[in-house]
Amino acid sequence: MSPSRPPSLRAQLIGAWDLISYTAHLLRPHKHRLPLGPQARGTILYTPDGHMSAQLLRPGQPPFAHGDGITSGTDAEWASVGKNFVAYSGRFWLDERGGSKGEEPLLLHEMSVSNLPKLVGQVQRRTVRVSEEEGGVRYLHLGVDRMEVEGEMRVVEVLWRRREYNAAAQVPAKL
């Protein structure tokens, strides 16, 4: 009997991941930024049929002051929400052979829907690596080698932790 092969990188991507950190390293001057703050939260999902969805937010935003808190915010309240939340979804593709120079595998995210109009229609490149720590905790390391934001060149690193599989067949009693 031959030893089993490890799962492909694509198979390892499939599922839900929680944001651990989102860091932008500026090339000049050499410093880093936390675009959504040190406590940024988020979720990224990869489906077996090749679709993905990502939502990232800066936690701690106050609820809207009046009304139902869903549609009744002022223009200023909605502007604050917009500056503190990034979401996009679309298809994804994975080249496990790496980029043009044979580096790490290359992951492509299609931005077919986004709350940021500039992203709609883009296909963005990500470096991708999955690691596992003692105890079986898995991490997804995504990166953007060079991205220009507000005239600054950045290298972006995003770290995600694999979410537990939701095998619940019934709604929990506490809900």
What percentage of the chain exceeds 90 in pLDDT? 47
DSSP bridge pairs for 88? 54, 114
The arithmetic mean of pLDDT across residues 17-42, rounded, is 86
Alpha-carbon gap, residue 34 to 145, rounded angstroms: 16
Q: Evaluate whether the domain defined by 9-162 bears CATH number 2.40.128.
A: yes
Alpha-carbon gap, residue 128 to 98, rounded angstroms: 9
pLDDT tens string 127-162: 999 999 888 899 999 988 877 777 777 788 999 999
Alpha helices in 67-152 (DSSP H): 75-83
pLDDT tens string 52-66: 999 999 998 888 887
Alpha-carbon gap, residue 141 to 60, rounded angstroms: 25
Mean pLDDT for the chain? 86
Place of tokens 């490890």: 6
Lookup: tokens for 23: 């860091």
Alpha helices in 73-171 (DSSP H): 75-83
The arithmetic mean of pLDDT across residues 18-30, rounded, is 85
Q: Which of 21, 24, 62 shows the shortest CA–CA distance to 41? A: 21
pLDDT value of position 4: 67
pLDDT exceeds cutoff 90 at 26: no
The arithmetic mean of pLDDT across residues 1-24, rounded, is 85
3-state secondary structure 130-145: EEECCCCCEEEEEEEE
Domain regions of the chain by residue span: 9-162
pLDDT value of position 99: 53
